[in-house]
Amino acid sequence: MQYLYDDSGRRYLDAFAGIVTVSCGHCHPEILNAITEQSKLLQHATTIYLHHTIGDFAESLAAKMPGNLKVVYFVNSGSEANELAMMMARLYTGSLGMISLRNAYHGGSSSTLGLTALNTWKYPIPEGHVHHVMNPDPYRGAFGADAASYANDVQDHIDYGTSGKVAGFIAETMQGVGGAVELAPGYLKLVYDIIHKAGGVCIADEVQTGFGRTGSHYWGFETQGVIPDIVTMAKGIGNGLPLGAVVTTPEIASVLAQKIQFNTFGGNPVCSAGGLAVLRVLDKEKRQAHCADVGSHLLERLRFLMERHDIIGNVRGRGLMVGIELVTDRDNKTPAKAETAVVFEKLRELGVLVGKGGLHGNVFRIKPPMCFSKDDADFLVDALDYSLSKL
């Protein structure tokens, strides 16, 4: 279900899926049933001893991964997943330097806040060994969609800012909090080569882009034709349950054998049962193809809306991960921050919940539950049309 109800019984169309978590829809019966049955059987035991639900879930998840990405670790959130991935990269390579993109969001814990490069989210934490490279943003980036020029910037950071060796590179394959920004085509392929030559590993943060949301592929990194060394995931993996995962190769995973690596709640039976049901439901209900179909309808209607409203500077996205950027003038791309806040409230009054993001808070983020229909998309676009006309 893609609707939420407030205390008075008023219905809202949820076009943000509870911060991109509710992948299959609110109160999905098969997921509710899986969680309930598992709760009756075993809510938690030590994760030192494997129970069959976590084993089944790990196997099913690994079966969704390409290449040699076969070792799964469960955690409770996206931040924890990225913490663990970063630690693996540093242990495996013996280097400390991490490279991440400007405009990225990788979490709110101390180390992942270091990777994050959006000052709206930054607290003054001691950061070290993180290099924030130019964002290959085709709309706002200095080099447009020229992937090679952005890749040169990565090489420059390695040449001038490190010993020549790095631990790793991390990127969302479409930036979520940063405002549904797609990376310039071909960028990841070029950068993965550079990073591997510098001895580092490549991490794909699939916290928002995974599980078929982009429509064209099951994982966002596939849209760039690469296979990462480590993949992190959370949010939609559990349809709202606190769950995250890190998937990597046996070779990289072997570095964690040096010490005990333990997470009390990661992969607990109830979340594992929910996660396993999510994988089943997404396949059974053909949600990836559905995202492709409804997403292209939504994008087409939004691009048509651009002709009616000059304040829409850019419409972008893939599948059901879409960004609508508002600007006060299209030439200078001046962020229409105040107007975005007004329209955001107007949409809520009309019964539509969307997300807001980007460094300037001027991007509407549309990432609904993956059961969102074409009728829902039409309702959203009509509400947006009306709200913009009232500015």
Residue 241 or 336 having the CB closest to ligand PLP: 241
Residue 176 or 199 having the CB closest to ligand PLP: 176
Among 25, 107, 179, 313, binds ligand PLP (CB under 6 A): 107
Residue 85 or 134 having the CB closest to ligand PLP: 85
Q: How far is CA 238 from the centre of its chain?
A: 14
In 10 A of CB 349, how many CB atoms?
9
Residue 141 or 236 having the CB closest to ligand PLP: 236
CB of 242: closest distance to ligand PLP in angstroms? 8
Residues 2-31 vs ligand PLP: string with x where CB under 6 A? ------------------------------
What is the distance between the alpha carbons of residues 391 and 389, in angstroms, rounded to a whole number?
Answer: 6
Residue 102 or 333 having the CB closest to ligand PLP: 102
Q: Record the tokens describing residue 136, joined without a space.
A: 């290959």
CB contact at 8 A, 71 and 247: yes
CB contact at 8 A, 230 and 207: no
Residue 89 or 158 having the CB closest to ligand PLP: 89
Instruction: Based on the shown chain and the rule CB under 6 A, indicate whether residue 78 belongs to the binding site for ligand PLP.
Output: yes
Among 207, 230, 278, 383, binds ligand PLP (CB under 6 A): 207
Instruction: Based on the shown chain and the rule CB under 6 A, indicate whether residue 177 belongs to the binding site for ligand PLP.
Output: yes
What is the distance between the alpha carbons of residues 283 and 167, in angstroms, rounded to a whole number?
Answer: 35
For residue 191, what are the CA distances in angstroms to 70, 118, 183, 186? Answer: 23, 21, 12, 9
CB of 202: closest distance to ligand PLP in angstroms? 15
Instruction: Based on the shown chain and the rule CB under 6 A, indicate whether residue 214 belongs to the binding site for ligand PLP.
Output: no
Among 83, 137, 153, 172, binds ligand PLP (CB under 6 A): 172
Nearest to 30 by CA among 60, 1, 50: 1
In 10 A of CB 319, how many CB atoms?
29
Q: Which residues from 230-289 bind ligand PLP, rule CB under 6 A?
A: 234
Residue count at the site for ligand PLP (CB under 6 A)? 15
Collapse the DSSP code of 328 into the 3-class scheme (helix H, G, I; strand E, B; otherwise coil) and give the result: coil
Instruction: Based on the shown chain and the rule CB under 6 A, indicate whether residue 176 belongs to the binding site for ligand PLP.
Output: yes
Residue 151 or 174 having the CB closest to ligand PLP: 174
CB of 209: closest distance to ligand PLP in angstroms? 8
Nearest to 293 by CA among 377, 389, 200, 197: 377
* Burial of residue 152 (number of CB atoms within 10 Å: 0-12, 13-18, 19+): middle
Residue of minimal CB distance from ligand PLP?
78
For residue 271, what are the CA distances in angstroms to 31, 55, 374? Answer: 10, 12, 31
Chain positions contacting ligand PLP, by CB under 6 A: 77-79, 82, 105-108, 172, 176-177, 205, 207-208, 234
